[in-house]
Structures are given as structure tokens and as C-alpha cells.
Structure 1
Amino acid sequence: MSSAPSPLDRWYETAGVRGGVRRIFHAETEQGRVFFPHSLVAHLDHPEVKALAPERIREISVRHLYQFLHSTTHLETRVVNGAAEPVANGNTGMHFPSALRMDAFKVYCDEGYHALYSLDLADQIAAVTGIEVPDVDYGGFVTALQDSGRRLLPEDPLLAGQLQAVVFETLITAVLNEVPQDPTVVSTVRDLMRDHAKDEGRHHRFFSAFFLELWARLDRPRRILAARALPAMIRAALDWDVEPVRVSLRLAGLDEDRIEAVITDCYGKDAGISRIQTVSRSTLRLCAQVDAFDLPGAADAFASYGLRAPEDTDD
């Protein structure tokens, strides 16, 4: 990574934080559009939810956007910047070249900006629509991701943090690229997601290359532990946090029994596994590139989370 061109070489000219514009939500121009692609909101297709009044369904869609935006602020600042900072400041216990360290600082700047404009758009939409942002913990993704690291790499928290950032940054681009393509979504949301995806495309390439540098610096015992931890981290990053969904459904008027039925049907153990396999394809290929699947216990660990080696997936 130190000798090859970096995806962040033109950061001063291309980064959103350097030259991007603030996206402003104008309700009057967005009539008839949704706030998040309905195909990506599993519970909107549930019979209990479809039976609700249209205005309640619209509120659920808006709250799903709030969850996505607020979760982004947590993940960018606590997971990605939590990993970028020790790399940037040379506190990883490993030697990385100065160019890579400066790139880590560029990522750090980007992610703070992504968190800011995600929170900004959520606040704008709440003010214009009158649909409040529920007072819930949107950091469930982070808790799940960090718990997987503490459980599987208890003696190596720094490595756990680096792997969590690699996982998230090689997954997020696939998700962000879906929303701008949907013409049914309000344009401000699509524009913001497109802005975010441009930066994250560069971050994807940076963290993919960083992972190879990191892996090369691990001895075999640490590689084995890392390979066994990666599938749990992938699932933690992709399994939807259901507590904000539960609160949203309660605000929409569903009773507890119906809420639990929706949660179980839409977010149960095997729900959405094919989508998870598809979204995680780039991350799985990166694992295969370093032969992670061939290490003792790794293939079984991936299989236990419903994840398959990339040679077993469809292109």
C-alpha cells in the first residue's frame, strides 16, 4: 500500500468535506416520494404493517431513515474513527508508513463529516415533517460489533477494532449505492447517500488495501483468531438493530404481541440471509484473498453465521 497509488491521493480535491454542499430538505418538492426504499425496509411488507393507515406507514418509513442516519453517526465516529485514530497516530504497535498514516487522518476527517451531515438531515426532516426522532439508542450496531470483538478477541482489543472498521467499510458502500438508484425516494436523501457513497468508495479501497497490510503484520496465531472473529463481525454489522424498529411500531399503534410477531417474521434468525450473503460479497472475497477460510476453524465459523466462501456464491 505504501508504494501503490492511494485512493485518497486526490483527497484535497475530491473529498466531500473539502468541497461538498449542504443538502437541504424541501418538503414541497418531494410530494409522493418515500424516505427510504420500501424494498429495504423488511417490516413495511408485513401484513400487520400494511394494514395500518397510510400516514402511519409514512411515519414508519421516516423513522427507518432516522435509524439509518443516526446509526451511521455512531458507526462512523465510534467504529471507523476509533480504528483510524491509532493508525494515524502510530499507536497500533505495528509500523505503518507515514503516507498510510496520513490517509488514516483523511478517513478520520471524512467520517466526522459524514456523521455531521447524517445528523443534520435527520434534524431537518424532523423539523419539516413534524415526525420526531424517537429517543432511543441508535448505537445498537456498535454495541453488537464491539461485543463480537470482546467475545472473540478478548486479549486483542486493538486488532478487534481494526477488523471491525475493515468489515464495516467494505460493507457500507454496497448499501449506500442502493438508495440513490431508487427514483421513488426523496431527492435530498438520494443526493446525500450519493455524496456519502463517493467518499465510501474510496474508503472501501483504502480499507481493503489496509487489511492486506494489517494481515501481513499478523503472526499465524493472531491470523487464526482474526479469521474466526470476522464472520461474527460481518453479521453484527448487517443484522438490523430491532429495538428502534420495535419503538417505531409501537408509535404506529401496534400492540406488543403484534410488534413481536413482526420482529420475529422480519428479523428472525435466518431472515434476510441471502441479502446478507450478497451485501457481504466484497468482504468475503477480501477474506479469501488472504486465505482466511483455510485457517483452522475459520470455514466452520463462517458457516455458523450463514456465510459462504466466495467461490460458492453467485456473481
Structure 2
Amino acid sequence: MSTHHTARPHPPGPLDRWYEQAGVRTGVRRMFHEETERGRVFFPAGLVPYAGHEAVRRLPPERVRELTVRHLYQFLLSTTHLETRVVNTAAEAVANARTGLDLPPALRPDAFKVYCDEGYHALYSLDLADQIAAATGIAIPDEDYGGFVDRLRTSARRALPDAPALAALLQAVVFETLITAVLNEVPGDPSVVGVVRDLLRDHARDEGRHHRFFSALFRELWTHLSAADRVKAAKALPELIRTALTWDLAPVRTSLRLAGLDADTARRVADDCCAAGPDLRRLNDTARSTLRLCAAVGVFDLPGMREHFAAHGLGDGDADPAATEPVEQETQ
């Protein structure tokens, strides 16, 4: 006699309409057409942390333009590493039930959807960088854009030396709740070439759904942690946030040298503008959703934790802790 098991209902999830909405399912290949993009920039100078440095301002305009193109390359190619080596490491562990946690079954297929999305984001980031290099003649520097990931892992090992699996999950949660804010800065800027705006808008749309997935994962993760592990995780979060928002210096120095600065000046500019990470206002603006998520699960209710975050220049989200979800952009 056969036994029939009834599937347990679960509330609607952020990836329930993935087959109809995901970029990898419905998107088009974004193509760069140089003739329609003349007069526009490849990356907003206001988002290039060293663009305003006096040594950079003295460079010829064409060299500054090349700097913005190479900064876009760094943004795109760092993304390929982050998506495949940080986010997908965590997504695979959830998808294959290898976290060691008793997570809701519905998270597993959603994690595989995230895994597919992130591979596609890496592909089209590399594709766009190659297209722009071919069209402009501005070569992609022979750099290891994965150094950023190595720095993230070093930071995680330092913050959670006895819990590498937890560190990997927290890293993915932090990155995926930060990236939507970063991606949303460019699509509305009409001075930026259209293909870059379109690609980052595509990416932000997927990441809005990923944000909700990783927020749910963090809530589940938090409920499974012991009191002692919650304290360890909470103490690790500020460093993970700050590290995720600090540019890798090696590609910056290379780009500055290619623009005509000598090695010592390039090193000084990179150190002056990038080594410390973003200023406190930008740091907290970008991290607001991540901080609200921390508030929502009770991170700041732990003794001394508000002060610990404040020592790293981070507030508590200064808003309703329940307001952790990003606004999903509509197709334009």
C-alpha cells in the first residue's frame, strides 16, 4: 500500500516567479554601440573615489576618461569573482543542504535559482567589459580582479576563525544586502552610457529578489545560532560590511600608472582615496538595508553591540527595523 505525502504549504517567496522574471530566463544580451554613446561617460566620476584627487585632476581629459573606463572594468570583473566565489559558495551550500542547519526546504530550490542568476551576472559582466575594450581600444589591464575576494576571506577568517562555514554564509548575506544599493546608483544617471545603465538595472532587478532571499536566510541562520555564536557573528559583521565596501587597491594603482602617474604617486592616490573605504555618510547610506536587517533580528539588542558597530563607523540603520526590503525596479 503506498503512502502519499502532502507537501507542506509555505508563504510566497521572492523567487516564486523566477521562471517568468529572472534575467537569465527573460533578458537580452546588452550590446555596446559606440556611435550612439558619444559624449557619455562609462562610470560616474562621483563614484570613482580617486577622480577628485589633485594628482588625477592634473591629468589630460583623455587619461581621466580612460580611468573611468578601467574603473568600470574593475567594477564588472570584481563582480564576476564575487558572484561566483562568494555568493555562489553560500548558495550551493544552501541548495545542497550542506550548511549543517535545519533550514526550510523551500530555500533549497530558491538557492539554486540564485546560483543560476549569479553565474549569468558574471557572464554578462565579463561580456560587457570585453565589448567595451574592443570598441574603445582601452585594454582591460592584466590584473587579478579576484584579489578583492581574497581580502574578504582574510577578513572573515580574522573575524570568525573558528567558524568558516558561518563566515561564508554571513559574507554572502552582507554582500547581497549591500549590492542592490550600489547597483541602483548608476541606472538613473543620463550621463552614463546606456548599455552600462541597462546592464546594472538588469542586475539590480535580480538582486532585489536575492536581497529578500538572503534576508530570509539570515533570519533563519540567526534563529539556529547559540547565544555565544550570535555574539561572535554580531562582532564579525562590521568588519565584513566595511571590507565589502572597500576597493581593491592593486587594480586602482595599475590604472593610475597606466594613466601616466608614476608608481609612488599612484600608490599615494590609491592610499589617500581608497584604503580607508568610503566616508561615513556613504558607508551608512550603502549599508542601511544591511543594518536594518541586523536590527530586525536583534543584533543591536546584544550587550555592547551598538557601541561595537559605532566604533566601526556604523549606525543601526536609523529606521524601522522591519523595513529591510529593497524597492524592486520596474522594467524601463
Report whether the alignment pairs 1:182 with 2:189.
yes
The equivalent position to 1:72 in structure 2, one of 71, 76, 79, is 79
1:141 deviates by: 2.3
Could you tell me whether the CA contact under 8 Å between 2:246 and 2:278 is conserved in 1? no
Task: For 1:227 and 1:218, locate their aligned partners in 2 and report how far apart those are by CA, in whole Å.
Answer: 11
Report whether the alignment pairs 1:250 with 2:253.
no
> Does the residue aligned with 2:50 lie in a helix, a strand or coil?
helix
Q: Structure 1, residues 127-170: CA drift from partner, whole Å, max 9, x if none?
A: 11111111111113212221121112112111111100000000
TM-score by length of 2: 0.91
Moved more, 259-268 or 186-195: 259-268
The equivalent position to 1:149 in structure 2, one of 147, 156, 159, is 156
Once the two structures are superposed, the pairs formed by residues 32-43 of structure 1 within 5 Å of their partners are: 32-43=39-50
> Does the residue aligned with 1:137 lie in a helix, a strand or coil?
coil
Report whether the alignment pairs 1:49 with 2:56.
yes
Once the two structures are superposed, the pairs formed by residues 216-235 of structure 1 within 5 Å of their partners are: 216-235=223-242
> Does the residue aligned with 2:108 lie in a helix, a strand or coil?
helix
Is there any run of 5+ residues in structure 1 with no aligned partner, and where?
A: none
Task: For 2:237 and 2:174, locate their aligned partners in 1 and report how far apart those are by CA, in whole Å.
Answer: 8
Structure with greater helix percent:
1
Paired letter, 1:256: A
Task: For 2:34 and 2:149, locate their aligned partners in 1 and report how far apart those are by CA, in whole Å.
Answer: 32
Could you tell me whether the CA contact under 8 Å between 2:249 and 2:275 is conserved in 1? no
1:270 deviates by: 6.6
1:268 deviates by: 4.3
> Does the residue aligned with 1:35 lie in a helix, a strand or coil?
coil
1:289 deviates by: 1.0
Moved more, 157-166 or 41-50: 41-50
Residue 129 of structure 2: aligned partner: 122
The equivalent position to 1:283 in structure 2, one of 290, 305, 321, is 290
Could you tell me whether the CA contact under 8 Å between 2:10 and 2:106 is conserved in 1? no
Structure 1: which 4+ aligned runs deviate by more than 4 Å?
none
Cα 1:304–1:312 change in 2 (3 A) is: farther
Once the two structures are superposed, the pairs formed by residues 57-206 of structure 1 within 5 Å of their partners are: 57-206=64-213
> Does the residue aligned with 1:56 lie in a helix, a strand or coil?
helix
Moved more, 213-222 or 113-122: 213-222
Task: For 1:176 and 1:43, locate their aligned partners in 2 and report how far apart those are by CA, in whole Å.
Answer: 19
Paired letter, 2:90: A
Could you tell me whether the CA contact under 8 Å between 2:292 and 2:319 is conserved in 1? no
Residue 34 of structure 2: aligned partner: 27
Moved more, 139-148 or 238-247: 139-148
Q: Structure 1, residues 161-202: CA drift from partner, whole Å, max 9, x if none?
A: 110000000000001011101000000000000000000000
Paired letter, 2:31: I
1:259 deviates by: 1.6
Could you tell me whether the CA contact under 8 Å between 1:16 and 1:110 is conserved in 2? yes
Report whether the alignment pairs 1:307 with 2:314.
yes
Paired letter, 1:281: R
Paired letter, 1:124: Q
Paired letter, 2:168: G
1:312 deviates by: 8.4
Moved more, 35-44 or 167-176: 35-44
> Does the residue aligned with 1:23 lie in a helix, a strand or coil?
coil
Q: Structure 1, residues 81-124: CA drift from partner, whole Å, max 9, x if none?
A: 00000100011111222211000000000000000000000011
Could you tell me whether the CA contact under 8 Å between 1:242 and 1:267 is conserved in 2? yes
Is there any run of 5+ residues in structure 2 with no aligned partner, and where?
A: 1-8, 324-332
1:239 deviates by: 1.0
1:261 deviates by: 3.0
Could you tell me whether the CA contact under 8 Å between 1:17 and 1:110 is conserved in 2? yes
Moved more, 138-147 or 175-184: 138-147
Could you tell me whether the CA contact under 8 Å between 1:228 and 1:297 is conserved in 2? no
Task: For 2:14 and 2:197, locate their aligned partners in 1 and report how far apart those are by CA, in whole Å.
Answer: 24
> Does the residue aligned with 1:185 lie in a helix, a strand or coil?
coil
Paired letter, 1:182: D
TM-score by length of 1: 0.95
Could you tell me whether the CA contact under 8 Å between 2:180 and 2:207 is conserved in 1? yes
How many corresponding residue pairs?
Answer: 313
Could you tell me whether the CA contact under 8 Å between 1:84 and 1:105 is conserved in 2? yes
Paired letter, 1:287: C
Q: Identity of aligned pairs, percent?
A: 65
> Does the residue aligned with 1:43 lie in a helix, a strand or coil?
coil
Task: For 1:235 and 1:216, locate their aligned partners in 2 and report how far apart those are by CA, in whole Å.
Answer: 24
